Amino acid sequence: MQLLSIAATLSFLASAAANAAKPNIILLLSDDQDARMNSLDYMPILQKYLAQEGTTFENHYTTTAICCPSRVSILKGQFAHNTNFTDVGPPTGGYDVFLEKKLNEEYLPVWLQRAGYATHYIGKFINGYGVPNHKVLPGGWNSFDALVNPWIYQFYNAVFSRNGAEPKKYPGIHQVDVIRSKAIAILKQAAKSEKPFFLYLSPSAPHTTVSFDPNDKENLKKIQCSETIPAERHKHLFPDAKIPRTPSFNPASVKGKPKYIEDLPLLNDTVIETLDHWYRQRLRNLQSVDELLGAVIQQLTKSGQLDNTYIFYSTDNGYHLGLHRLNAGKTSPYEDDVHIPFLVRGPGVGRGVKRVDVSSHTDLAPTFLKLAGAHQTAFPFDGAPIRVHEHETLSQNDAAATKETLAVEFWRPLVPEYFPIQGGEENTYRSLRINGRGYSYLYTVWCNGHRELYNHTTDPYQLVNVYDKTSSSVVSRFDALLVALHDCIGETCQKPWNAIDVRIRSLGQALEGRYDTSFAKHQRLVIQQCLQYYDLQNEVIVESDGKGGEIVVDRPVREIPRVGGTAAPAQQPLLVLQDGQGNEGVAFENLESTIDDIEEFGISLTKEEVEIASDPNAYDYD
């Protein structure tokens, strides 16, 4: 009996030692943050503690430019065409669909729990988590404190449900400040535990405010998008900031774009003035996110955990204001909507390093598992671990070493947030984004038959569609890649050239004449209809018939995977400038002001609020 007790004790101590050696991981994910309009330049805490003391990945992308599918790709390590989770609401998206598809049974927090981690979630999860279903938890989280629909995008009326308990609202406290206080409470709790932790923080900032008229109960789905709302202490900042007037901002010509963009008139002065105001509000709201990051770093420093913690910063998708005459929103294949911020600091991570490695959100789950010394065998990852460590070397066969291409995919209408755009329902597309040595391209196939090709090296703002001016031989390479990626699974997603010719490792190599025979049939992808959902049979492959025409290629029908399973050193004071432009005299408040007893400020919803939120017509948004 004594021997058994000793053995059990030794086993416990060994497990505790193994857990103690594992790093903590934090992901801070903003909502709809741009990389192309310089928003990161206005976040001084991020600049100091992540950009200067960590690594910035300059070629990181979302593979679906809308929140819920992108967030599921983070949690699953898969493209949306493999999760078939492609929207923000039913029948192909939303929280209930996330559970119905059993996407929560084998996903990131479950895998990390199996590896000995405590897992915590705070903020926006999947749209559709609301009053009627708040007790139905996704599983995998030791603590789950999620924003509740329909108040996810109302910044001074945030509503949370903690571990499925009665939803509470926090009137008068900015949403990001609520998340900040909840995060610090979790970090204080984690400091007392032997377990490593994974903390996922997901504020809605700088997303637009989305509101509805509670008195118009017949039209609760009739919503109004307006400027995002910053904290009161930030509302005076950046009075002169304007959207960068790049060549793609309200350009004189949009020739070569899809029809719904070609038909757009120039934005007038009134619209531009409004968009500039929205831009300033976005920068102001990001100050609270910056302070959230600062408070997290400060608490980790106090508890002595900073040196053993990886902190990742990103967003779900990009955002545009005035891009190619579009007003405000995301959901396009263009760089503003798919190229997103991605930074990391932590043990072994280079300081002040900028990397050009191509990566996407499908790579995050594999990366986190690698850092945690964990793995999963439920299904193959579409992504591969990102090279986060400064001196990490890769073999020539590693996916991260050869990756230069990723797919961007979308199956729903355009989402303009300022005013409607006619024809935006023809927004289903498949794209390639290629970044290689000495070349960079965007190639897009639209559901209406339109095709776009941009040489990003000579045309970084994607103004001149060169598809019709590019030789068939060159286009055949892009088409072959898109064919390989459009229904890829696992390693084919990581190394699409292997599905074409195992000798080829890059576009530059593929363009060599000796490989012309591999592309002689010129297979290409055709999207037959502008469906608002993903149907593999709607996307056919055609090839040359050798007589000047094309024939449809018979391909084996495959089931979209339905994944199931068994759930199971001292830092300087954080008193830095706030205006993002180096101007003195704009210091932010002491981060010690975090509300320790934030839960005491939560109050119950009124009976009327519960009734409205329980109405099947209660709005949801992306």
| Residues taking part in catalysis | 67
End-to-end CA distance of the chain: 59
- C-alpha angle 19/25/27, rounded to 5°? 160
Query: What's the gap between Cα 130 and its chain centre?
Result: 21
Q: Using the structure block, give the residue that is written with the tokens 């009124």.
A: 606
Backbone angles phi, psi at 37, to 5 degrees: -110, 20
- C-alpha angle 79/84/90, rounded to 5°? 130
Who's near 391: CB < 8 A, 6+ residues apart?
348
The DSSP output letter for 577 is B
Residue 356 to residue 358: CA distance in whole angstroms: 6
The DSSP output letter for 377 is -
Residue 443 to residue 431: CA distance in whole angstroms: 5
Residue 14 to residue 21: CA distance in whole angstroms: 11
Who's near 506: CB < 8 A, 6+ residues apart?
402, 404, 436, 437, 497
Query: What's the gap between Cα 21 and its chain centre?
Result: 29
Residue 478 to residue 487: CA distance in whole angstroms: 15
β-partners of residue 603 are: 169
CA dihedral defined by 276, 277, 281, 282, rounded to 10 degrees? -30
Residue 328 to residue 321: CA distance in whole angstroms: 5
Q: What H or E segment, with its residue span, contains residue 277?
A: helix 269-303
Of 462, 494, 502, 454, the residue nearest 478 (C-alpha): 454
Backbone angles phi, psi at 179, to 5 degrees: -60, -40
Residue 64 to residue 259: CA distance in whole angstroms: 21
Cβ atoms 376, 369 nearer than 8 A: yes
Token pair in block for residue 119: 């897992």
Q: Which long-range contacts does 298-302 make (Cβ < 8 Å, 24+ apart)?
A: 298/571, 298/574, 298/591, 299/184, 299/187, 299/188, 300/187, 301/570, 301/571
Cβ atoms 387, 400 nearer than 8 A: yes
Give 123's Cβ-side CA count (13 Å radius): 24
